[in-house]
Amino acid sequence: MNPFSSGTRLSDMIRAIRASKTAAEERAVVRKECAAIRASINENDQDYRHRDLAKLMFIHMLGYPTHFGQMECLKLIASPGFPEKRIGYLGLMLLLDERQEVLMLVTNSLKQDMNHTNQYIVGLALCALGNICSAEMARDLAPEVERLLQFRDPNIRKKAALCAIRIIRKVPDLSENFINPGAALLKEKHHGVLITGVHLCTEICSVSSEALEYFRKKCTEGLVRTLRDIANSPYSPEYDVAGITDPFLHIRLLKLLRVLGQGDAEASDCMNDILAQVASKTESNKNAGNAILYECVQTIMSIEENGGLRVLAINILGKFLSNRDNNIRYVALNMLMRALTVDSQAVQRHRATILECVKDSDASIQKRALELIYLLVNENNVKPLAKDLIEYLEVSDEDFKGDLTAKICSIVEKFAPEKIWYIDQMLKVLSEAGTYVKEDVWHALIVVITNAPDLHGYAVRALYRALHTSSEQETLVRVAIWCIGEYADLLVNNAGMLEVEDPITVTESDAVDIVEIAIKHHTSDVTTKAMALIALLKISSRFPSCSERVNSIIGQNKGSFVLELQQRSLEFSSVIQKHQNIRSSLVERMPVLDEATFSGRRAGSLPASVSTSGKSSLGIPNGVAKAAAAPLVDLLDLSSDDTPAPTSSSNNFLQDLLGVDLTQPSAQPVSGTMQPSQAGADILLDLLSIGTPAPVQNGSTNGDLLSMQDNNTPLASLDTISSTSPTAPSSMMDLLDGFGPTPPKIEDKGPAYPSIVAFESSSLKIEFNLAKQPETPQTTDIEAKFTNLTPNVYTDFLFQAAVPKFLQLHLDPASSNSLPANGSIKQTMRVTNSQQGKKPIVMRMRVGYKINGKDVLEEGQINNFPRGL
Amino acid sequence: MIHFVLLVSRQGKVRLTKWYSPYAQKERSKVIRELSGVILNRGPKLCNFVEWRGYKVVYKRYASLYFCMCIDQEDNELEVLEIIHHYVEILDRYFGSVCELDLIFNFHKAYYILDELLIAGELQESSKKTVARIISAQDQLVEAAKEEASSISNIIAQATK
């Protein structure tokens, strides 16, 4: 041994690390050790190699980088002795994973060790292979594993079986080779081999239906016999767990039987007796027994129908559900979820208990139970269930409220028997947990309210009341002020009273008060304030007597630091002061929002998905169209609830309408064509939301707009403000100039588009200049500009592009095929969009060039084309 | 399948990690931080399962150590609890009433035992006795090699005297 080595012993290092009082001290110790280990690696010190690696593993566990030790593992594995190999393989499994290239170097050592005369070395190699092999290694070493499945020692056979599982997971095609050896393992007596063998067969069945058929024919009876033997076996100390012989083997066998019995009456029939025996005889007072029962129930639920067994299984679940142990209740809920597709009536019977579980103190149980309840809701039980859940919302944990709120909203939307009930429930949710209500949900509420003319008055009065009690809930405030803005007159004169309502007296100034409170409240964010400004403008028109006061409130925001608010405030106050004659038509009540469009947009703007999810996401529109939703649809819908942010297009919808596009002002480039169905509403609102980049299309006809043009009143005062509008100054001007004597010019040129950066890497930037000829609206001319960002010359430059079928692409030759250093070249192309207005342009592109004779290839997808091209 | 095994002390110190699915180094530390935050804060009477990123983490506390295993949604949680207990019993038998310090200073032994219990995230052996026998056989091999090495160095030392 090297007497000059300064290395410390492993235990000394661990002690030193443990003795560190601060993180900095610990880092210092680790740094020193790592330096010593590196030095010893450089010296190629053989005596300390295994100790160094052991230290590195400890350091690795603490989270420090240890990649420099990877090669040491390989050296240790390649050395002849068992102790070195043992630690080498351990290091390999800890420090590397299947994605590292270095791993390939070990393939040969593994192969040699798998042929070693010492069975423990064979075992080490198999263990490493099973834990970290990559697809490539799986292919290379599968024959060795196959051979070792017949090794004389059972401990090697079981390891080989698990390796085979890993190999099949990596390369399913290789499963064929393991069918016969796998079947042979099922006849073994050694429990380890049997457990792994059964598992291997289960895995093979999952990737190959032929193998499944084969095992079903040849092995079902044998497996049933094995399960019977093990279930009836007398006490055996080696495998005993809480009075049961080898619960692990029980579970593996039940799993494989489940796979074999599924969809095959004959095989299912064959296993009925033993399943009945396991289900009825297994002790359920210990965890091991319950684990078996749980697995057995799952098998009974999956195999072909046998009434008696199903009853037995459901009873076991019922017992589980009333168990005092939380673990057991959890798995019961889990299992009931799966049983739902088999026997939903039986699950419905436990509804009350499940509802209790939603209120459990354990978050895991709550979550499971909530998901189950969500699936149990139908139009018959929605009222009591929603009532119960909303009541619980008041007292539930903050962490849980988000989930609970999302689910309640979804239930209420989907199964609401009538709109008034839906509005009531949503109001309760908003007042209780408004902060957790997702954007698209309260947008949907507004859409529903506008679509129910007889409930306008009711809704606005209820919201007014709710606002008084829960003014802290942002989303409630938003919905309320939106409605007050729209239906202020109904609020004040109690119009359209329903019988169930108590009359309230609200004066005109009360209505202004409540909006003023909202705009001044410290918790209100910009969106809320912006909405409040619009509401005030509308109120000023509905109640001319309050006009002065409204104007002064609006005026207070003229100095706001937020551009949006400042701008609105200036514009609105000028509308109030100077343009009385157009004000009332400007702030007319919103046209009814189109429910179908909204739910379509909400489900994602793809036309294909509208048809499927449109039905499930909002059942309200027609009031009755609520066929019992299949659990599958529920699940789909459920998952969409869980995604934190809905697709941006769904967000845009109401934001467009409300003119509050603060979140993504630049994401919405100027587009000349609006979707025709909404052009009316959009234009009206765009007038109100001048700060947003969405422009007004000049030629489109809309009563309000035209009537304003007739007025011929130049809104000169707005000009100064609008020049700050960042992305769309030209369209802004058009809107305002449109009232003046000169007609807009832009119509002649066709709409203008900003240029986009289609692609940018460290070496190359591609910009697109877009243009359209007015006579061919479907065709877009693109001038691509390629800029070389490096000081090297690119030669043999070639740009290629591909587009989907609905597009046609014509590519002109580039201005040059070499790109000078830091210079640029141009290339024009023409894209014709046959689905213009429905689908945006997308393009996949590839650029190839040479730097100093070396090939470079860059690829990318361009999907930031402006909408409507 | 078991995606990873995690041993964390009550203070949040990692005592053992074993990954059967590929996780990048950064991802690993994030997983550990996230999970220990969730698990260490759970009350004593709650169930032993935590739903996490579409997986389930089954954990059990033994003295100051939390044993955690991450499994798929459709796996049998109760069985995994048994596997954890199985592992603990084997450790206990090997070290003779095991404590956290045993696992700190002999962390490699804990790994060796785990490797005899699980491969590819699946259970390998249900008999504690078999595992103990295989481990001690391998320990003996190491001891024999050590003795041989020291006797050779003795001979060399004497010869060069």
Mean pLDDT taken over chain B: 91
* ipTM field: 0.94
Q: Which positions in chain B touch A87 (Cβ < 8 Å)?
A: 108
- In chain A, the residue whose alpha carbon lies closest to the alpha carbon of B147 is A83
**How far lies A842's CA from each of A604, A605, A804, A807, in Å?**
17, 15, 7, 9
What phi and psi values does residue A800 have, to the nearest 5 degrees?
Answer: -125, 145
> In this predicted structure, what is the pLDDT of residue B10?
92
Q: How far is CA A296 from CA A256, A272, A310, A588, B48, in A?
A: 11, 11, 11, 66, 21
pLDDT band at A474 (very low <50, low <70, confident <90, very high): confident
Of A448-452, A682-686, B11-15, minimum mean pLDDT range: A682-686
Strand partners, B4: B19, B70
A88 within 8 A of A79, measured Cβ to Cβ: yes
A679 token code pair: 């052009």
Report the alpha-carbon distance of residue A90 to residue A60 in Å, rounded.
13
Which chain A residue shows the shortest CA-CA distance from B152? Answer: A1
**Mode of pairing for the β-strands spanning B55-62 and A756-760:** unpaired
Q: How far B77 CA lies from chain A's nearest CA (Å)?
A: 8
Q: Are strands A240-241 and A244-245 parallel, antiparallel or unpaired?
A: antiparallel
Residues of A in contact with B105 (CB under 8 A): 11, 14
* Cα angle: A9, vertex A12, A18; to 5 degrees: 145
Whether B152 has its CB under 8 Å from any CB of chain A: the answer is no
**What pLDDT sits at residue A574?**
83
Q: What are phi and psi of A740, to 5 degrees?
A: -80, -175
CA nearest to A335 within chain B: B74
Mean pLDDT of A698-706: 40
Contacts A249 to B, Cβ<8 Å: 126
What sign has the CA pseudo-torsion A77, A79, A81, A87? negative
Question: In angstroms, how far is CA A111 from the centroid of its own chain?
Answer: 42
In this prediction, residues A323-334 reach a mean pLDDT of 88
**Structure confidence at residue A49 (pLDDT):** 84
Q: If you search the block for the tokens 């000009």, which residue do you land on?
A: A719
- Whether the per-residue pLDDT at A608 is higher than 70: the answer is no
Give pLDDT, residue A409. 86
Whether A322 and A353 have beta carbons less than 8 Å apart is answered as yes
How far is the CA of A600 from the CAs of A10, A592, A613, A651, A657, in angstroms?
64, 16, 8, 12, 16
| Strand order through the sheet with A854-862 | A794-802, A843-851, A854-862
Residue A622, phi then psi, degrees to nearest 5: -100, 5
Nearest-angstrom CA–CA distance, A793 and A812 = 22
Which residue's entry shows tokens 């079981």?
A: A158
Yes or no: say if B126 and A195 are a contact pair by the CB < 8 Å rule.
yes
A493 vs A26, higher pLDDT: A26
B47/A130 touch (CB, cutoff 8 Å), yes or no: no
Q: What is the pLDDT of residue A193?
A: 92
- Contact of A675 with A644, CB cutoff 8 Å: no
* Chain Cα centroid distance, residue A45: 51
In chain B, residues with a C-beta closer than 8 Å to the C-beta of A63 are 14, 29, 32
Q: Which tokens go with A666? A: 């630049």
Q: So what's the pLDDT on residue A849?
A: 85
Confidence of residue A167 (pLDDT cuts 50, 70, 90): very high
- pLDDT given at position A660: 43
Q: Looking at the complex, does the CB of residue B16 fall below 8 Å from at least one CB of chain A?
A: yes
Q: What is the 3-class SS of B13-77, one letter each residue?
A: CEEEEEECCCCCHHHHHHHHHHHHHHHHCCCCCCCCEEEECCEEEEEEEECCEEEEEEECCCCCH
More confident residue, A606 or A465: A465
- How far is Cα B66 from Cα B37, in angstroms, rounded to an integer? 12
Amino acid code (one letter) for A829 = M
A191 chain-B contacts, CB cut-off 8 A: 125-127
pLDDT at A516 over 70: yes
Residue A864 to residue A326: CA distance in whole angstroms: 51
Residue B60: closest C-alpha in chain A: A327
Average pLDDT, integer, range A602-623: 40
Q: How many CB atoms lie within 10 A of CB B21?
A: 15
Residue scoring higher pLDDT (A111 or A587) = A111
Distance between CA B15 and CA A106 in Å, rounded?
27
Cα dihedral sign, A387-A391-A392-A398: positive
- Dihedral of the alpha carbons of A332, A338, A341, A345, in degrees to the nearest 10: 0
Our measurement of the distance from residue A267's CA atom to the centroid of its chain's CA atoms, rounded to an integer in Å, reads 40
Residue A423 pLDDT greater than 60, yes or no: yes
β strands within A689-778, DSSP E: 756-760, 764-772
pLDDT at position A495 over 50: yes
Contact A325, A366 (CB under 8 A): no
Alpha-carbon span A246 to B130, nearest angstrom: 13
| Chain A partners within 8 Å of B24 (Cβ) | 99
The one-letter code for the residue type at A29 is V
Strand partners, A788: A764
pLDDT at A396 over 60: yes
The average pLDDT across A835-849 equals 82
Flag if A54 and B108 touch (Cβ within 8 Å). yes
Residue A112 clears pLDDT 80, i.e. is over it? yes
Confidence of residue B84 (pLDDT cuts 50, 70, 90): very high
Q: What is the mean predicted confidence (pLDDT) over A28-52?
A: 86
Segment 103-132 of chain B within 8 Å of chain A by CB: 104-105, 107-108, 111-112, 115, 119-120, 122-130
On the question of pLDDT at A744 being above 70, the answer is: no
Nearest to A229 by CA among A249, A202, A199: A249
The predicted model gives B142-154 an average pLDDT of: 86
Residue A387 has a pLDDT of 85
Interface of B with A in 40-99 (CB under 8 A): 43, 45-51, 76-79, 81-83, 86
Provide the pairing of β-strand B118-119 with B122-123.
Answer: antiparallel
Q: For residues B10 and B64, is the Cβ–Cβ distance under 8 A?
A: yes
Taking an 8 Å cut-off on Cβ atoms, the answer to whether A61 and B107 are in contact is yes
What are the distances in angstroms from CA A640 to CA A371, A438, A644, B55? 14, 11, 9, 18
Task: Provide the mean pLDDT of chain A.
Answer: 77
Q: Residue B56 has what pLDDT?
A: 92
> Cβ atoms within 10 A of the Cβ of A33, count?
22
Residue with the larger pLDDT of the pair A618 and B115: B115
pLDDT digits (tens, 9 = 90+) for B106-137: 999 999 999 999 999 999 999 999 999 999 99
Among A120-129, A154-163, A472-481, B109-118, whose mean pLDDT is lowest?
A472-481
Is a pLDDT exceeding 80 seen at residue A690?
no
User: In this structure, are residues A72 and A89 in contact, taking their beta carbons and an 8 Å threshold?
Assistant: no
pLDDT at A497 over 60: yes
Q: What is the CA radius of gyration of chain A?
A: 36
- Give the largest CA-CA distance in chain B: 68
Say whether pLDDT at A119 is over 80. yes
**A192 to B125: CB separation less than 8 angstroms, yes or no:** yes
Q: Which whole number is the average pLDDT over A93-98?
A: 84
**A102 DSSP 8-state letter:** G
Cα A817 → chain centroid:
43
Chain B residues lying within 8 Å of A291, measured CB to CB: 76, 78-79, 81-82
**pLDDT value, residue A125:** 93
Q: Which amino acid is at A359?
A: K
The answer to whether B8 and B40 are in contact (CB under 8 A) is: yes
**Do A60 and A94 touch, CB atoms closer than 8 A?**
yes
Please give the average per-residue pLDDT across A383-407, as a whole number.
84
Q: Which of A493, A582, A497, A572 is nearest to A535 (CA)?
A: A572
Q: Is A676's pLDDT higher than 80?
A: no
pLDDT at A236: 84
Residue A3, helix vs strand vs coil: coil
Tens of pLDDT, residue by residue over A621-669, are 333 333 333 333 333 343 344 434 434 444 444 444 444 444 443 434 4
Average pLDDT of span B146-154 = 85
A59-80 pLDDT tens trace = 998 888 888 888 888 888 998 8
Lowest-confidence region among A36-50, A557-571, A587-601:
A587-601
Query: How many C-beta atoms lie closer than 10 Å to residue B133's C-beta?
Result: 13
Convert the pLDDT of each residue in A226-263 to its tens digit.
Answer: 999 888 888 888 888 888 888 999 999 999 999 998 88
Band of pLDDT at residue A203, cut at 50, 70 and 90: very high
Asked whether residue A748 carries a pLDDT value surpassing 50, the answer given is: no
Residue from A10, A79, A116, A127 whose CB has the most chain B CBs within 10 Å, to mutate: A127
pLDDT of A582 reads 76
Minimal C-alpha gap between A543 and chain B (Å):
53
**In percent, how much of chain A has pLDDT > 90?**
12
For residue B78, give the chain A residue with the closest CA: A291
